Amino acid sequence: MQTTLRVAFAAFFVLCGCKHSPAAAPPAQSWIDRSNLNAQVLLDVQARFFPEGGARLGIAGIDDRIIDLTPGHHEREREALQKALAQLEQWRSVEQDPLVAQDLGHPRRGGAAPGA
């Protein structure tokens, strides 16, 4: 009984000490990186029309800008958002990765792509 216990402990410690990692796959753009690029479309719109909020989110290079309140700013912002959403919808319609497609889901649907 003691011999069996010793062998079991020895095997356990050998396996725990084994720190081999599987061979690394060649670096590929992960779905998270691709999803982040998609999110950047809306962040760019926010940075353009509300740079103070964008700076708080960590968008670089906009610290010297201020909010645009010139006449017609609501219309310009709405148009920019519509273009960004149309671009994201187009990308979602052809996206093959279900995780990226889910992130491209319509915001009013809770981010879930239809049928997901």
Domain assignments of the chain as residue spans, ordered by start: 30-109
Tokens linked to 60: 């670089």
CA distances from 27 to 34, 39, 47, 73 (A): 14, 22, 31, 43
Closest CA to 39 of 59, 56, 55, 53: 59
pLDDT value at 103 more than 80: yes
Write down the mean pLDDT value for the chain.
76
pLDDT of 70 reads 92
pLDDT of 61 reads 86
pLDDT value at 112 more than 60: no
pLDDT value at 27 more than 90: no
